[in-house]
């Protein structure tokens, strides 16, 4: 039986060929990803999939008989569960037309194994530490921001005051110049009046 035949075999039970294909793909993908990351996938009554390390060793080339060094490697391994073994060996009879009954999963196994729970708690602890660190950094940064804001405000005030003094200094000479011009006009007016009086 190949993958296409497996999809056809479960299509009626799942509700269509496409749904069956998606289900098979999802199950296989989950198993492969878990085994590659080093986790053990165990299905009670069916078997378990796991990653096994093979140390470096010497082997023989079957064609030449030459001794060859094989590097260290990792390989996937499947171990059949007892229920599966009993059905294959004939110790138990395969039921006709119904689903093969395997042992029920123990309590708690469907909610995540010990390794999954440990990984989840580790992730939560790391997230809490990161959040605490961010909050502490924000508290330290807040007084620094306030001090910087106060310093900036003081600089702006000093700049405005200096600009005000310069403006006042510029305006003062302008008033003096105006005062000087005014007597000049009066003198011209007096001269005109004196000329008119002399003419008459």
Q: Is residue 79 part of a domain?
A: yes
CATH at residue 20:
4.10.520.10
Domain holding 74, by residue range, is 3-89
Q: What is the DSSP string of 126-138?
A: HHHHHHHHHHHHH
Q: Is residue 82 part of a domain?
A: yes
Question: Distance from CA of residue 97 to its chain's centroid?
Answer: 49
pLDDT at 4 > cutoff 70: yes
Going by C-alpha positions, the residue among 39, 40, 37, 10 that lies closest to residue 23 is 10
Number of domains in the chain: 1
Q: Is residue 182 part of a domain?
A: no
Residue-level length of the chain: 200
Q: Is residue 34 part of a domain?
A: yes
State the Cα–Cα distance between residues 111 and 103, nearest whole angstrom: 17
> What pairing do the DSSP bridges indicate for beta strands 47-54 and 73-80?
antiparallel
Are 74 and 51 within 8 A, CB to CB? Answer: yes
Q: What is the structure's pLDDT at 187? A: 57
Q: What is the structure's pLDDT at 94? A: 81
Q: Is residue 192 part of a domain?
A: no
Q: What is the structure's pLDDT at 92? A: 87
Q: Is residue 177 part of a domain?
A: no
Crossing angle for the helix pair 3-14 and 17-36, to the nearest 10 degrees:
120
Model pTM score: 0.48
Are 49 and 78 within 8 A, CB to CB? Answer: yes
pLDDT, one tens digit per residue, over 54-78 is 999 999 999 999 999 999 999 999 9
pLDDT (average), residues 24-52? 94
Q: Is residue 24 part of a domain?
A: yes
Q: Is 82 exposed, middle or buried (0-12, 13-18, 19+ CB in 10 A)?
A: middle
Mean pLDDT of the residues in the chain: 74
pLDDT, one tens digit per residue, over 111-155 is 454 444 445 445 555 556 655 666 666 666 555 555 555 666 666
């Amino acid at each position: 039986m190949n993958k296409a035949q497996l999809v056809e075999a479960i299509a009626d039970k799942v509700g269509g060929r496409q749904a069956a294909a998606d289900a098979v793909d999802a199950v296989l993908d989950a198993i492969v990803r878990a085994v590659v990351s080093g986790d053990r996938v165990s299905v009670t009554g069916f078997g378990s999939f796991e990653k096994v390390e093979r140390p470096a060793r010497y082997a023989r080339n079957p064609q030449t008989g030459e001794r060859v060094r094989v590097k260290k490697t990792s390989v996937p391994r499947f171990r059949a569960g007892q229920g599966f073994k009993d059905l294959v060996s004939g110790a138990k009879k395969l039921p006709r037309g119904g689903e093969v009954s395997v042992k029920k999963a123990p309590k708690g196994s469907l909610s995540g194994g010990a390794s999954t729970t440990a990984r989840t708690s580790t992730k939560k602890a790391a997230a809490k530490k990161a959040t605490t660190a961010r909050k502490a950094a924000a508290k330290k940064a807040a007084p620094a921001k306030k001090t910087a804001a106060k310093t900036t405000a003081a600089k702006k005030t000093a700049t405005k005051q200096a600009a005000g003094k310069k403006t006042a200094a510029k305006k003062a000479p302008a008033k003096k110049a105006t005062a000087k011009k005014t007597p000049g006009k009066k003198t011209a007016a007096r001269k005109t009046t004196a000329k008119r009086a002399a003419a008459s």
